[in-house]
């Protein structure tokens, strides 16, 4: 294969991938209607459910789209016309789900918090009590805006009391943080091919309770993102309804194989080791974080931006980017932040090397403590 420079992506996906995942995309041209390809997709669908221990109770529908397409499919397919959806909005991705619902004129009961505040499950219970007609709750598991891990299990427990289904955006947690969907009891889980599963962007999947299938029939608001017809169509024909991203699917197959070889716990341990290394290193460099540790996903850190007037995210980004490290700006959190994620094919030594580059930048480009620039040194 072409020699490709390994870049360290500290943005929360699309992630740094292994060479073997990249190579998996170089395949013979194949018509996606051929049985060989259909078989591949079938195993992908099955294995995606296995990652979250869905057993026979959960099934999977695939779409060609980025993550947002999967959210749109779940929300627009699941909520009946006369019903409402309660959305927990404590970050840009909670807000996105509310925007999707509003676009399709689905009535929303919005639980709006500052980006960085932790949801109060008692308040959710009160909202369910005081708002008749809520059939679904939508919540982001790992809110990538802030690095917060929302209390999905408690929300599912409350939802069960009211016979309400929960839609969980697991875009940046699936295959990173261990998830047992049966234990949650969530109705729908959405994730994409390019985050903790460590594949390439282009596919999104909705894993949902098989028992909900009849309730989805005839309920669609979108032609393309209709969960029912996508799932049932695949069951009948073994094919996706519309052109799949063939090479991305091969990469996802490889990424799943690598996930199962590494294993759920070892992947989590690797991410944890990266995160601890990152946290400790940043603390040494006097950085502070948006969230208390008890609310952290331990996959992404929202780092408070230095108050030094000469600090500039873009300059820091460009310095690090030239050296092979991609960092990520903030996204409307309650304090100004930039973000660093440890998901993807990253290892402790990558994080250590990044910290050294960051230290060099701070020492020679900007000294946070002493306020010196490289010209002063
Ligand atoms: C939690 C969460 N939800 C939704 C999305 C949207 O995914 P996409 O940009 O692939 O449409 C992202 C993307 O980072 C995300 O982190």
Q: What is the pLDDT of residues 119-128, one digit of tens each?
A: 999 999 999 9
Residues with CB under 6 A from ligand 1: 12, 66-68, 93, 140, 144, 169, 171-172, 192
DSSP string, 129-182: HHSTTEEEEEEESEETTTTEE--HHHHHHHHHHTT-EEEEE-TTTTTTS---HH
What is the sign of the dihedral through the CA atoms of 15, 18, 22 and 27?
Answer: negative
- Nearest atom of ligand 1 to the alpha carbon of 68: 11
Tell me what pLDDT residue 366 has: 67
Nearest CA to ligand 1 atom 2: 171
Q: Name residues whose C-beta falls within 8 Å of residue 237's C-beta, 6 or more positions apart in sequence.
A: none
Q: Which segments of the chain have a pLDDT < 70? A: 366-377
Tell me what pLDDT residue 367 has: 54
- Nearest atom of ligand 1 to the alpha carbon of 143: 1
Tell me what pLDDT residue 135 has: 98
CATH fold, domain 264-368, is 3.90.1150
- Nearest atom of ligand 1 to the alpha carbon of 91: 1
Q: Name residues whose C-beta falls within 8 Å of residue 78's C-beta, 6 or more positions apart in sequence.
A: 135, 136, 165, 167, 187, 188, 212, 216, 219, 227
- Span from the CA of 93 to the centroid of ligand 1 (angstroms): 7
Per-residue pLDDT tens digits for 142-194: 999 999 999 999 999 999 999 999 999 999 999 999 999 999 999 999 999 99
Q: Name residues whose C-beta falls within 8 Å of residue 328's C-beta, 6 or more positions apart in sequence.
A: 10, 11, 12, 338, 339, 340, 341
Instruction: Report whether 249 contacts 41 (CB < 8 A).
Output: yes
- Span from the CA of 195 to the centroid of ligand 1 (angstroms): 9
Phi, psi of 204 (to 5 degrees): -130, 150
Instruction: Report whether 43 contacts 252 (CB < 8 A).
Output: no
Q: Which of 14, 139, 172, 199 to mutate to test the pocket of ligand 1 (most atoms within 8 A of CB)?
A: 172
Nearest CA to ligand 1 atom 8: 67
Q: Which of 68, 138, 149, 176 to mutate to test the pocket of ligand 1 (most atoms within 8 A of CB)?
A: 68
Helix, strand, coil percent values for the chain (each to nearest 5): 45, 20, 40
What is the sign of the dihedral through the CA atoms of 272, 276, 281 and 282?
Answer: positive
Tell me what pLDDT residue 88 has: 98
Instruction: Report whether 136 contacts 83 (CB < 8 A).
Output: yes
Q: Name residues whose C-beta falls within 8 Å of residue 279's C-beta, 6 or more positions apart in sequence.
A: 289, 301
Q: Which of 144, 173, 190, 299 to mutate to test the pocket of ligand 1 (most atoms within 8 A of CB)?
A: 144
**In Å, what is the CA distance from 19 to each residue of 143, 260, 329, 353?**
29, 17, 27, 20
Per-residue pLDDT tens digits for 211-227: 999 999 999 999 999 99
- Nearest atom of ligand 1 to the alpha carbon of 140: 1
- Nearest atom of ligand 1 to the alpha carbon of 13: 14
Smallest CA-to-CA distance from 94 within 333, 338, 336 is with 333
Q: How many CA atoms lie within 13 A of 338 on its CB side?
A: 19
Tell me what pLDDT residue 307 has: 85
- Span from the CA of 53 to the centroid of ligand 1 (angstroms): 22
Tell me what pLDDT residue 308 has: 80
Instruction: Report whether 343 contacts 176 (CB < 8 A).
Output: yes
Nearest CA to ligand 1 atom 15: 171
Nearest CA to ligand 1 atom 12: 171
Q: How many CA atoms lie within 13 A of 374 on its CB side?
A: 7
- Nearest atom of ligand 1 to the alpha carbon of 12: 14
Q: What SS3 class is residue 24?
A: helix
Give the architecture (CATH level 2) of 19-261.
Answer: 3-Layer(aba) Sandwich (3.40)
DSSP 296: B
Neighbours of 304 (CB within 10 A): 15
d(CA 43, CA 46): 5
d(CA 287, CA 272): 19
User: Helices 152-161 and 121-130 sit at what angle, rounded to 10 degrees?
Assistant: 30
Pairing between β-strand 328-329 and β-strand 84-89 as defined by DSSP bridges: unpaired
- Span from the CA of 68 to the centroid of ligand 1 (angstroms): 6
- Span from the CA of 171 to the centroid of ligand 1 (angstroms): 6
Tell me what pLDDT residue 373 has: 37
- Nearest atom of ligand 1 to the alpha carbon of 204: 10
d(CA 75, CA 73): 6
Q: How many CA atoms lie within 13 A of 277 on its CB side?
A: 19
Total count of residues recorded for the chain: 377
Phi, psi of 133 (to 5 degrees): 90, 10
Residue ranges covered by each domain of the chain? 19-261, 264-368
Tell me what pLDDT residue 309 has: 83
């Amino acid at each position: 294969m072409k020699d490709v420079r390994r870049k360290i992506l500290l943005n929360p996906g699309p992630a740094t991938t292994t060479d073997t995942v990249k190579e998996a995309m170089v395949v013979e041209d194949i018509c996606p209607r051929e049985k060989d390809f259909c078989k591949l997709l079938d195993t992908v669908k099955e294995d995606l459910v296995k990652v979250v221990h869905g057993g026979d109770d959960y099934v999977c529908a695939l779409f060609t789209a980025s993550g947002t397409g999967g959210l749109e499919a779940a929300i627009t397919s699941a909520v009946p016309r006369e019903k409402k959806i309660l959305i927990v909005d404590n970050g840009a991705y909670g807000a996105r789900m509310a925007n999707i619902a509003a676009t399709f004129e689905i009535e929303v009961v919005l639980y709006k918090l500052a980006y960085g505040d932790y949801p109060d499950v008692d308040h959710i219970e009160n909202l369910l009590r005081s708002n008749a007609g809520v059939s679904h709750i939508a919540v982001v598991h790992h809110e990538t805006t802030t690095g917060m891990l929302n209390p999905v299990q408690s929300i599912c427990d409350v939802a069960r009391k009211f016979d309400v289904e929960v839609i969980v955006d697991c875009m940046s947690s699936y295959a990173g943080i261990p998830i047992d969907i049966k234990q949650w009891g969530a109705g729908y889980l959405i994730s994409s091919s390019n985050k903790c599963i460590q594949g390439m962007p282009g596919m999104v999947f909705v894993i949902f309770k098989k028992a909900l299938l009849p309730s989805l029939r005839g309920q669609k608001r979108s032609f393309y993102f209709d969960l029912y017809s996508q799932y049932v169509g695949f069951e009948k024909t073994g094919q996706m309804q519309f052109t799949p991203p063939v090479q991305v699917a091969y990469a996802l197959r490889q990424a799943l194989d690598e996930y199962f070889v590494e294993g759920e716990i070892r992947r989590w341990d690797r991410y944890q080791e990266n995160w601890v290394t990152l946290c400790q290193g940043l603390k040494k460099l006097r950085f502070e974080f948006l969230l208390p540790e008890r609310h952290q996903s331990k996959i992404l850190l929202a780092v408070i931006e230095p108050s030094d007037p000469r600090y500039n995210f873009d300059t820091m980004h460009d310095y690090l980017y030239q050296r092979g490290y991609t960092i990520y700006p903030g996204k409307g959190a309650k304090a100004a932040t930039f973000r660093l994620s440890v998901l993807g094919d990253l290892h402790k030594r990558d994080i250590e090397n990044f910290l050294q580059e960051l230290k060099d930048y701070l020492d020679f480009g900007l000294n946070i403590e002493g306020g010196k620039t490289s010209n002063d040194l």
